[in-house]
Copies of this chain bind each other. A is one copy, B any other.
Amino acid sequence: MNQSRATAPAADLLALLHTADAAQAHVETSLGRIGLSLPKLAALTVLKDAGQSLSLGDLAARLSCVKSNVTQLVDRLEADGFVSRAVAPDDRRSRLAFMTPAGRAACEKGGRLRDQAARELFSDLTESETRLLAALIGKLAARARC
């Protein structure tokens, strides 16, 4: 067996991508029950961790994505009533995003749902296996960001 290890990386990569998709879908199914998605929860979490309102550019930088994406994400978050926009007092070009009380509540509830879903996903792995997986993923990540 294993004559094809030389070409296996592609299969392993595809398995990784497919599993990540499935894991994401699993968490989002849970989050969907409270009107959240992973991107929305990520934005709310960044806002919560910042402890204050952030400009959309700031938010984009902390979410490692492009500004136009944040514009649309905040549009939807605003429609949900989880976030509001305000003109920055010092610079009228800049828009500040801040969480509403409903957003704060959704963030906390969503965080618990996400953590619970993550524990379910990892429940077949021992603690040392989980640490090992994290280390291997880290090696992959180092290569991917080049």
Chain A: interface size category: 35 or more
Interface majority SS (helix, strand, loop, mixed), chain A:
helix
Which of A70-78, A101-109, A127-135 is the contact stretch?
A127-135
Which of A47-55, A87-95, A137-145 is the contact stretch?
A137-145
Residues on the B chain within 8 Å of A20, using CB: 16-17, 20-21
Q: How far is A74 from B10 in the complex, measured between Cα atoms in Å? A: 23
Cβ distance A5 to chain B, nearest Cβ, rounded Å = 6
- Where the two chains meet, the residues of A that have a C-beta atom closer than 8 Å to any C-beta of B are 5, 7-10, 12-13, 15-27, 38, 64, 111, 114-115, 117-125, 127, 129-130, 132-134, 136-146
